Amino acid sequence: MIASDAELISVLRQYNPWWSGRRFQDLPQWRRVAFKEITSWLTNPPADRALLLSGARQVGKTTLFLQAIDQLLDSGVRPSNILYATFDHPLLKLVGPDGVLRLWKEFEPASEGVEYVFLDEIQTAKNWQVWLKHQVDFEKRRRIAVTGSATPLAVEGQESGVGRWHTIKLATLSFYEYLQIKNLQTPNIPAVTSLAAVFDWEANQFVRVGEEARGLVGYFHDYLLRGGFPECAKVESVTLAQKLLREDIVDKVLKRDMTAQFGVRRVVELEQTFLYLCLHDGGQLDIPELCKSLELKRPTVSNFIDLLEATHLIHQLRPFGYGKEILRGRPKVYLADAAIVPSVLLKGKTLLENATQLGRAVETAFFKHVFTRFYALSVGFSYWRSKKDVEVDIIADVNGDLIPFEVKYRGNIVPSYYKGLVQFCQERHVKRGYLITKDFTDFKVMTIPDRDTRILQIPAPLACYWLGRSELEEGIA
């Protein structure tokens, strides 16, 4: 053994100060929306399952765990019944989950009652799926919560975890959460139960709320530049925030995690592929063109794209349809956060000066909000493109109800901007659609003559603000 038990327990005591009657200092008082779901599982789990908090690096998974531990201690749980460890630490990674639990039991024997185990970056531990399965099956008094920065791929032992853990996907900060963490003074905007509820508003409500919400625009543009990674969001300088984000993605995820977790050796080619995707964010992925541009073979590129999706850096959107329509169509690729592109490409504030790039960033941000808010409802997402090349950016399938979204972050909305939206609604007999716009003067419901279709035009800052609010509990239909 490289390290003695004394050295290992010393490391564990640093991560578990409550064993000695102390707490972690300076934990944020503000809590993310996911905190409620985590603590609900800890206090009253719906089933005998572990909890997997999945998300990219630096999105706040560890902070959420420490806040949950703080609440457990406040509720009277004995400190010795709570264990926290991170397998980012080389010594703890070396001994693995069983070694960590052995040390905990030997040096801090738990009292009666429920035991709580919090493990960070579980995917770096060998055979973690099998270990977690055994814990769930045989340790009934123990509640285990783990985090992972990479979605499990088709690796040996993965099937053993089916039905053994509940996954919470943690995205980067929503626009609403960004306003909270920055402690920014927000306009007096009413909450809504769903975006669909706005269809029933009177004309004066659109005018009044639109005027109030104009103050969101500057904050929204700042959000697009800094991004939804908590530490970067809190940095005052946009340049420094983007520099930190670039280092986290390029140096830690692409160069370190991909090598350590997935055995990637062609890191330069992986980085080039990611840069290509940054330059085509929100667009259809032409894999033959990508292969030609980077002089890479298709299997290599496909593997890289799967890895980038597994590490929560990109989302792929398949074309709407069935069978051959999907197989033949090209996927659209969205970055996990709108600020990734200006950060990785070192663009600074120039994003705001380029209408095309700004529009792509807004589309990426809006998709992240819709996807994040409703993934728990088993909503399917796709995009639609007709044979005449008119398109709808995002189609949400909510229990068979189709809800189309078109993002046009431009002024002077004209019919050609929503031609695809109207055509899709007509062909699929959809009664409502959404046009995400820029100007608050466009905030209204538009009725398409002879189509029996209504379209809500809503400015992107307001749409993202509402989608990020915790009060928005139900669907969007």
Residue 337 carries which DSSP code?
S
For position 236, what pLDDT does the model report?
A: 87
pLDDT in tens, 112-131: 889 999 999 998 888 898 99
Give the Cα separation of 32 and 59 in Å (integer): 10
Average pLDDT of the segment spanning 432-440: 95
Residue 314 has pLDDT above 90, yes or no: yes
**Average pLDDT value for the chain:** 89
Average pLDDT over residues 330-347: 93
Per-residue pLDDT reduced to its tens digit, 263-293: 888 999 999 999 999 999 888 999 999 999 9
Cβ–Cβ contacts within 10 Å for residue 376, how many? 11
Averaged pLDDT, 104-117: 89
Question: Which token pair is 328?
Answer: 């033949």
For residue 473, pLDDT beyond 50: no
pLDDT over 60 (residue 466): yes
Predicted local distance difference test score (pLDDT) of residue 185? 85
Q: Is the pLDDT of residue 100 over 70?
A: yes
356-389 tens-digit pLDDT:
999 999 999 999 999 988 776 768 899 999 888 8
The CA distance from 178 to 465, in Å, is: 10
Q: What is the DSSP string of 258-317?
A: HHHHH----HHHHHHHHHHHHHTTTSB--HHHHHHHHT--HHHHHHHHHHHHHTTSEEEE
Burial 409-441 (b: 16+ CB within 10 A, else e): bbeebeeebbbbbbbbbeeeebebbbbbbbbbb
Walk me through the domains of the chain, giving residue ranges and CATH numbers: 5-170 (3.40.50.300), 176-468 (no CATH)
Residue 391 pLDDT grade (very low, low, confident, very high; cuts 50, 70, 90) = very high
- If you count DSSP H runs as helices and E runs as strands, how many of each does the chain have, helices first? 19, 13
Provide the pLDDT confidence category of residue 155 given band limits of 50, 70 and 90.
very low
Cα-Cα end-to-end distance for the chain: 58
Compute the Cα dihedral for 325, 330, 335, 339 and give only its sign.
negative
Report residue 237 CA to chain centroid gap.
Answer: 24
User: Mean pLDDT across the stretch 134-149?
Assistant: 90
Q: What pLDDT does residue 74 have?
A: 95
19, two tokens:
């064993």
Q: What is the tens place of the pLDDT at every residue in 242-266?
A: 999 999 888 888 888 888 778 888 9
The residue-averaged pLDDT of 45-58 equals 86
What is the model's pTM? 0.90
> What average pLDDT does range 429-435 have in this prediction?
93
